[in-house]
Amino acid sequence: MNKVKLIIVLFLGAAITSCASKYELLFRSADVDVKYKGAFEYFNQKRYKKSADLFEQILMATKGTSKDDTVQFYFGLSNYKWGDLQAAEANFDQFARVFPRSPFTEEARFLRLDCLYQSTHRYELDQIPSYTAMAAINEFLYDYPNTEYLVKCKDMLVDLQERLDRKSYEAAKIYHTIEDYKAATFALKNAVKENPDNRYREDIMYYLVVSHYKYAQQSVKEKQRERYLSLIDEYYNFISEYPESKYRKELDDMFKKAQSETKINQ
C-alpha cells in the first residue's frame, strides 16, 4: 500500500473512531443539556437511531421541565424516521395523552395515524389493523376538522375502505369460484346487506344473479322453478341499479332462459 492510500485509510479510521467516540461520550454523559444538544445534532444529520437513543436517555431528566414535550415528541419522531413504527406509534399515542395542548400534539397525532396506516395489511390478510387505523383517523378528523393533513387522512380512509370492500367481495365470491352456488347466494347477498356502499357492489350483484342461475340449473326438477324465480328477482334488482352494465347482455340471456323454464311471460 502506497503512502497516499495509507494516509487516507488512517484518516478515515481516525474519523470513524472520532465519531464513535463522540457518540459514546454523549451516551455516557450525565450532562442533560449536552446530551439534549447532541440528540438534536444527530437528528439534524438524519442519524435517527442515535438521536432516538439519546432522547430516550433524557426522558426522565427533562420530565416536568420546559423541554419535556420537545424531548418526548422528538423521541417519537426519531423512532418514526428510523422506521420503528411500532415504537413511534406508542410514543405518539402517549405524547397526545400527556400533552393534549402542546404545539406538537396535532402533528404527533397525525404521525401516529400514519404509523397505524403503514402497519395495515393487504386485503387478503387480517383487516383488524385497518379498522383500528380508520377509527383513529376519524377521531383525529373530528378533533381537527380543518387540519393541514385533511387530504392525506381522506386518502388513507379511501384506501383502507377499498381494502375492506375488496376483502368482503372476495370472501363472498369464493363460494362462486369453488362452485358452491347455494352458499354463494347467501354470502353475496349478505355482503351487499352488510355494506350497501361497497365499491364492488355491481360485481357482487352480478355474481349473485349468476350463482342463482347456476344453482337453479343444478337443482332437481321439482326445485328449479322456485330457484329460477329467485334468479329473476335478483336480475330485476340488478338492472334497476345498473341498466347499462357491462354484464347486461350475459344476464339478459340468463333471464330469458329463466323465463323459458318458469313459463313466465312479460
**How many domains is the chain partitioned into structurally?**
1
Which pLDDT belongs to residue 8?
43
CA distances (Å), 68 to each of 59, 61, 134, 216, in order? Answer: 7, 9, 30, 70
Can you say whether residue 144 is alpha, beta or left, with left for phi > 0 and alpha for psi between -120 and 50 degrees? beta
DSSP states of 82-100:
HT-HHHHHHHHHHHHHH-T
240 occurs within a structural domain: no
14 occurs within a structural domain: yes
CA distance 259 to 58: 78
Coil vs helix vs strand at 205: helix
Asked if 172 contacts 187 with a C-beta cutoff of 8 angstroms, the reply is yes
2 occurs within a structural domain: yes
Helices 68-82 and 32-44, interaxial angle, to 10°? 40
- Residue 102 cell numbers, joined: 402542546
CA distances (Å), 123 to each of 97, 178, 217, in order? Answer: 31, 20, 33
3 occurs within a structural domain: yes
10 occurs within a structural domain: yes
16 occurs within a structural domain: yes
Task: Give 21: exposed, middle or buried? Use CB within 10 Å, 0-12, 13-18, 19+.
Answer: exposed
15 occurs within a structural domain: yes
CA distance 124 to 80: 26
79 occurs within a structural domain: no
Half-sphere exposure of 84 (CA within 13 A, CB side): 16
* Helix (H) or strand (E) run with residue 173 in it: helix 150-177
Which pLDDT belongs to residue 28?
83
What domain range includes position 9?
1-30
CA distances (Å), 67 to each of 43, 58, 63, 178, in order? Answer: 16, 10, 8, 61
Q: What is the pLDDT along the chain (266 residues), one digit of tens a residue?
A: 555 444 444 444 444 444 557 888 887 877 889 999 999 999 999 999 999 999 999 999 999 999 999 999 999 999 999 999 999 999 999 999 999 999 999 999 999 999 999 999 998 899 999 999 999 999 999 999 999 999 999 999 999 999 999 999 999 999 999 999 999 999 999 999 999 999 999 999 999 999 999 999 999 988 999 999 999 999 999 999 999 999 999 999 999 999 988 874 44
pTM of the model: 0.81
Asked if 255 contacts 232 with a C-beta cutoff of 8 angstroms, the reply is yes
Which pLDDT belongs to residue 23?
83
Which pLDDT belongs to residue 16?
47
Helices 221-241 and 248-262, interaxial angle, to 10°? 140
What is the chain's length?
Answer: 266
